[in-house]
């Protein structure tokens, strides 16, 4: 055989073999097709990122409208509540000043009144109060209020075209409220604004002033439009869209690079696989040649040695292959992902993790086949692709059928394909269980929605008490923006109405029990103090955070004010605002307890107004009530702030004088009261004269218990009446002190 051979062939043991060129990628990922795939992936990613950007930008615009609507609704509701309160009380009298002049459009007989001390007052109705609130709001933050009506009383309340259109829609029942955006200010301001308007409906209290206009309860009388500057909201939305655009560009670049890398790696692996295919073909030809050489070994001794060496080399390679297979199996079995290998659509291998995910033994999984472990929808998709003759996708998300027949798991599947020497197609399916991850993402999304939409104020702090998150309701309730709150501490809201012991007890319970709940007074950014129902819970630390605290709160100021009003009404006389019998009894017991502890004198006075019935019968009950109110004020001016003056009913009064220096102090108070009540009363242009009778009981002289003192004071009161009225009686047990007659009494007797 010639020693020289052609460039595309080589010689092995005297035989000529074909020479293979260097591997180059072929098939769908060669040359122009590869470049087209790269361009297509970039285009697809750009399209998806663009769609995401426009969708999120639309969400930003929607949130701006939602915030403007919420702000308009809250402001309208506050104005409406103020107007309802004013209407229910028949208007409010306020002093006449340069800024507050009588309302020329309010035609009521008692619109303007003068107090007894000469103070000029004028009645402010709901409309007038709304205009003054509008002026204050415009000065504070630029918000403009405008009250208008279809039946005008005041020309300045005339509706502009937008308001008139809204009123017609309200009256026709076409809408219950309206919110519009005006980029040029809507003719109100020289900046972008949101205009909100809602109707004012006739209520029973409104008929006092508007009955003459033919309104009925429930009719639309007019409306209030609220013009709110939109600059801050639009600036915030613009900043969000800028950040969104930058994030979208970064995501597009990153995803494009990853897709490019993935395609490049796949192309490279495809080239290696094709090279291996050619190598296998070469090995097959070599084995055929070696068989031919083996037939000639009897004639060539050198061929025998070469053949022995080949056999030894093959045994070594086989041993290494077995070790490699064992190592590969151990890695697969230890994988945290489930792995299934299919050969010609039949399952030939299942690792332990896949058995755990499906709750079945590997042998059972092999019998079921791939379709048996998938959910119903996934089985339909696989059947459809097989029916159409479509290939296998590289990755997808599937639901898996558990042993109990229910879909319990969701997994991301990566598919690898390789072709065996014998032509069989092998698929390696790598199942990554993402059930827990999806559940956590769902829970996180729900928690985020609750945090953003909750009506309660919510703030989250780190373990050192620094604020790290607040929700929109926090800003609404406190007035502090997110930027002002983040990095600060809850001491930002401290009102100064609780002492250090209160906060020490709060932190002690919080650190010991992990939570605290109660009521607290805090201060808004504008300085207003408000009551809130506060709940604090500790957030435990984990691998990603050192822990902290979460607090939720509600504004309960109105509830507290209502409770205080109810408590006051339960313990005070509604006519004179003096203590009633219930509160008087409690204070008498407390005064007796202090008197016993301090060993100080105490006096109980019972008082009746003389001939009060004749005043009622002569001048009427309204004059009688006015006399009782004035008499109560005169009595209060005769005692100390710590003493108690009470009205039991009618013209019956009682007084507690505690911590007296001497009994004479009680007699002096009785004398001052008789003199004060003897002065003429000016009631509705009439001059009314009355007097009073007083009975005095002293502690401990007249008794140590409340019942004894009441009996002695009552007996002394009757003694004063029997003595001719306009005097006081009282003294030691069993004896009466001499009557003390005032100068006014002497004048009355004359």
For 434-458, the pLDDT digits (tens) are 777 777 777 777 767 777 777 788 9
> What is the Cα–Cα distance from 529 to 651, expressed in whole angstroms?
41
pLDDT at 138: 61
pLDDT at 386: 63
Q: Which of 276, 405, 425, 431 is nearest to 348 (CA)?
A: 425
What element of type H or E holds 239?
helix 231-295
CB contact set of 53 (below 8 Å; sequence gap of 6+): 244, 245, 248
Tell me what the mean pLDDT of segment 560-572 comes to: 78
Share of the chain above pLDDT 90, in %: 22
pLDDT at 116: 84
User: Has residue 219 got a pLDDT over 70?
Assistant: yes
User: Has residue 652 got a pLDDT over 60?
Assistant: yes
User: Has residue 670 got a pLDDT over 80?
Assistant: yes
> What is the Cα–Cα distance from 584 to 713, expressed in whole angstroms?
15
User: Has residue 209 got a pLDDT over 60?
Assistant: yes
pLDDT at 405: 64
**Bridge partners (DSSP) listed for residue 461:** 467, 549
pLDDT at 95: 87
pLDDT greater at residue 66 or residue 398:
66
pLDDT at 25: 58
pLDDT greater at residue 81 or residue 693:
693
- For the ranges 30-34, 94-98, 113-117, 580-584, the maximum mean pLDDT occurs at 580-584
Cα three-residue angle 290-291-294, rounded to 5 degrees:
85
pLDDT at 733: 36
pLDDT at 13: 43
pLDDT at 679: 94
DSSP-derived secondary structure letter, 297: T
Q: Assign a CATH topology to domain 572-749.
A: Alpha-Beta Plaits (3.30.70)
> What is the Cα–Cα distance from 602 to 665, expressed in whole angstroms?
10
**Bridge partners (DSSP) listed for residue 687:** 682
Tell me what the mean pLDDT of segment 210-239 comes to: 81
**Which of 9-23, 206-220, 584-598 has the lowest average pLDDT?**
9-23
> What is the Cα–Cα distance from 740 to 750, expressed in whole angstroms?
17
Strands 728-730 and 691-699: what pairing?
parallel
Distances in whole angstroms, Cα of residue 463 to Cα of each of 79, 199, 522, 537, 540: 41, 48, 22, 12, 9
**Bridge partners (DSSP) listed for residue 416:** 428
Q: Which of 609, 589, 604 is nearest to 712 (CA)?
A: 604
**Which of 23-32, 208-217, 309-318, 733-742 has the lowest average pLDDT?**
733-742
Neighbours of 654 (CB within 10 A): 24
The ranges assigned to domains in the chain are 335-432, 454-563, 572-749
**Which of 157-161, 496-500, 731-735 has the lowest average pLDDT?**
731-735
pLDDT band at 345 (very low <50, low <70, confident <90, very high): confident
Give the phi and the psi of residue 699 in degrees, each rounded to 5. Answer: -110, 130
- For the ranges 169-183, 273-287, 666-680, 731-745, the maximum mean pLDDT occurs at 666-680
Tell me what the mean pLDDT of segment 100-127 comes to: 78
User: Has residue 644 got a pLDDT over 90?
Assistant: yes
**Which of 244-248, 324-328, 363-367, 715-719 has the lowest average pLDDT?**
324-328
Tell me what the mean pLDDT of segment 46-56 comes to: 89
Same fold, 335-432 and 454-563: yes
pLDDT at 321: 65
pLDDT at 134: 66
> What is the Cα–Cα distance from 326 to 78, expressed in whole angstroms?
77
DSSP-derived secondary structure letter, 487: T
User: Has residue 382 got a pLDDT over 80?
Assistant: no
For the domain spanning 454-563, the CATH number is 3.30.450.20
pLDDT at 2: 46
Longest dimension (CA), the chain: 171
**Which of 237-246, 343-352, 512-521, 655-664 has the lowest average pLDDT?**
343-352
User: Has residue 680 got a pLDDT over 90?
Assistant: yes
> What is the Cα–Cα distance from 668 to 701, expressed in whole angstroms?
18
- For the ranges 86-95, 247-256, 371-380, 716-725, the maximum mean pLDDT occurs at 716-725
Tens digit of pLDDT for each residue in 293-324? 777 777 777 766 777 778 778 777 677 766 66
Give a three-class secondary structure readout of 346-391: EEEEECHHHHHHHCCCHHHHHHHCHHHHECHHHHHHHHHHHHHCCC
User: Has residue 515 got a pLDDT over 80?
Assistant: yes
Domain 335-432 -> CATH class: alpha beta
Tell me what the mean pLDDT of segment 82-97 comes to: 76
Give a three-class secondary structure readout of 641-676: CCCEEEEEECCEEEEEECCCCCCHHHHHHHHHHHHH
pLDDT at 30: 62
Tell me what the mean pLDDT of segment 94-119 comes to: 78
User: Has residue 56 got a pLDDT over 80?
Assistant: yes
SS3 (DSSP) at 328: helix
SS3 (DSSP) at 201: strand
User: Has residue 707 got a pLDDT over 80?
Assistant: yes
pLDDT band at 511 (very low <50, low <70, confident <90, very high): confident
pLDDT band at 746 (very low <50, low <70, confident <90, very high): very low
Tens digit of pLDDT for each residue in 452-492? 777 788 989 998 889 998 999 899 889 999 899 899 989 88
Burial group, residue 116, by CB count within 10 angstroms (0-12, 13-18, 19+): exposed
User: If you compute the radius of gyration of the chain from its CA atoms, what whole number of angstroms results?
Assistant: 47
pLDDT at 304: 67
C-beta separation of 332 from 351 below 8 A: yes
SS3 (DSSP) at 236: helix
Tell me what the mean pLDDT of segment 680-702 comes to: 92
CA 518 from centre of chain? 18
* pTM for this entry: 0.36
CB contact set of 460 (below 8 Å; sequence gap of 6+): 467, 468, 469, 470, 539, 548, 549, 550, 551
Q: Which of 329, 281, 150 is nearest to 222 (CA)?
A: 150
What element of type H or E holds 195?
strand 193-201
User: Has residue 168 got a pLDDT over 60?
Assistant: yes
Tell me what the mean pLDDT of segment 408-418 comes to: 78
């Amino acid at each position: 055989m010639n020693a020289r051979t052609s460039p595309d062939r080589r010689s092995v043991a005297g035989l000529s073999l074909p020479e293979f060129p260097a591997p180059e990628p072929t098939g769908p990922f060669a040359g122009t097709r590869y470049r087209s795939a790269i361009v297509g992936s970039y285009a697809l990613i750009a399209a998806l990122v663009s769609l995401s950007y426009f969708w999120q930008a639309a969400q930003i615009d929607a949130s701006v409208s939602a915030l403007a609507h919420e702000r308009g609704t809250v402001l309208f509701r506050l104005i409406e509540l103020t107007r309802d309160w004013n209407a229910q009380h028949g208007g409010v009298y306020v002093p006449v000043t340069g800024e507050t002049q009588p309302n020329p459009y309010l035609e009521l007989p008692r619109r303007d009144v003068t107090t007894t001390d000469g103070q000029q007052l004028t009645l402010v109705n709901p409309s007038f109060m709304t205009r003054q609130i509008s002026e204050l709001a415009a000065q504070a933050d630029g918000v403009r209020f405008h009250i208008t009506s279809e039946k005008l009383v005041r020309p300045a309340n005339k509706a502009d075209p937008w308001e008139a259109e809204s009123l017609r829609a309200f009256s026709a029942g076409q809408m219950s409220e309206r919110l519009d955006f005006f980029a040029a200010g809507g003719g109100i301001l020289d900046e972008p604004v949101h205009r909100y308007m809602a109707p004012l409906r006739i209520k029973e209290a409104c008929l006092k002033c508007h009955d003459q206009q033919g309104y009925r309860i429930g009719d639309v009388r007019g409306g209030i439009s609220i013009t709110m500057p939109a600059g801050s909201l639009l600036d915030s939305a613009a900043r969000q869209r800028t950040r969104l655009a930058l994030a979208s560009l970064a995501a597009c670049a990153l995803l494009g690079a990853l897709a490019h890398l993935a395609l490049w790696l796949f192309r490279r692996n495809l080239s290696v696989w094709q090279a291996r295919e050619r190598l296998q073909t070469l090995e097959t030809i070599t084995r055929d040649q070696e068989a031919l050489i083996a037939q000639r070994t009897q004639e060539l001794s050198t061929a025998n040695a070469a053949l022995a060496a080949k056999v030894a080399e093959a045994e070594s390679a086989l041993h290494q292959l077995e070790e490699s297979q064992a190592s590969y199996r151990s890695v697969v079995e230890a994988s945290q992902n489930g792995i299934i290998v299919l050969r010609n659509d039949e399952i030939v291998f299942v690792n332990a993790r896949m058995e755990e995910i499906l709750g079945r033994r590997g042998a059972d999984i092999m019998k079921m086949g791939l379709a048996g472990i998938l959910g119903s929808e996934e089985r339909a998709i696989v059947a459809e692709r097989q029916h159409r003759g479509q290939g296998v996708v590289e990755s997808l998300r599937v639901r898996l059928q558990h042993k109990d027949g229910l879909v319990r798991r969701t997994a991301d599947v990566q598919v690898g394909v390789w072709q065996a020497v014998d032509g069989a197609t092998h698929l390696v399916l790598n199942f990554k269980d993402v059930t827990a991850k999806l559940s956590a993402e769902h829970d996180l999304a729900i928690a985020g929605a609750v945090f953003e939409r909750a009506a309660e104020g919510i703030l989250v702090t780190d373990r050192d008490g620094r604020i790290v998150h607040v929700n929109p309701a926090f800003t609404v309730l406190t007035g502090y923006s997110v930027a002002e709150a983040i990095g600060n501490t809850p001491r930002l809201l401290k009102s100064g109405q609780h002492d250090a012991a209160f906060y020490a007890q709060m932190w002690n319970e919080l650190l010991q029990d992990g939570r605290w709940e109660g009521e607290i007074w805090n201060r808004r950014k504008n300085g207003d103090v408000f009551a809130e129902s506060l709940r604090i819970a500790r957030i435990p630390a984990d691998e990603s955070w050192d822990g902290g605290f979460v607090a939720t709160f509600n504004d309960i100021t109105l509830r507290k004010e209502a409770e205080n009003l109810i408590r006051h009404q339960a313990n005070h006389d509604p006519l004179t605002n003096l203590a009633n019998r219930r509160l008087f009894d409690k204070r008498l017991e407390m005064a007796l307890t202090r008197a016993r502890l301090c060993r100080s004198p105490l006096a109980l006075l019972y008082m009746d107004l003389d001939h009060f019935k004749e005043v009622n019968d002569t001048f009427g009950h309204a004059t009688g009530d006015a006399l009782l109110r004035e008499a109560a004020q005169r009595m209060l001016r005769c005692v100390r702030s710590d003493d108690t003056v009470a009205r039991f009913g009618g013209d019956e009064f009682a007084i507690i004088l505690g911590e007296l220096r001497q009994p004479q102090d009680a007699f002096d108070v009785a004398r001052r009261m008789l003199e004060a009540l003897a002065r003429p009363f000016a009631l509705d242009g009439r001059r009314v004269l009355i007097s009073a009778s007083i009975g005095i009981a002293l502690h401990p002289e007249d008794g140590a218990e409340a019942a004894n003192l009441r009996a002695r004071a009552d007996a002394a009161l009757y003694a004063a009446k029997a003595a001719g009225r306009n005097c006081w009686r009282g003294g030691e047990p069993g004896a009466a002190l001499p009557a003390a007659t005032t100068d006014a009494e002497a004048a009355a007797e004359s």
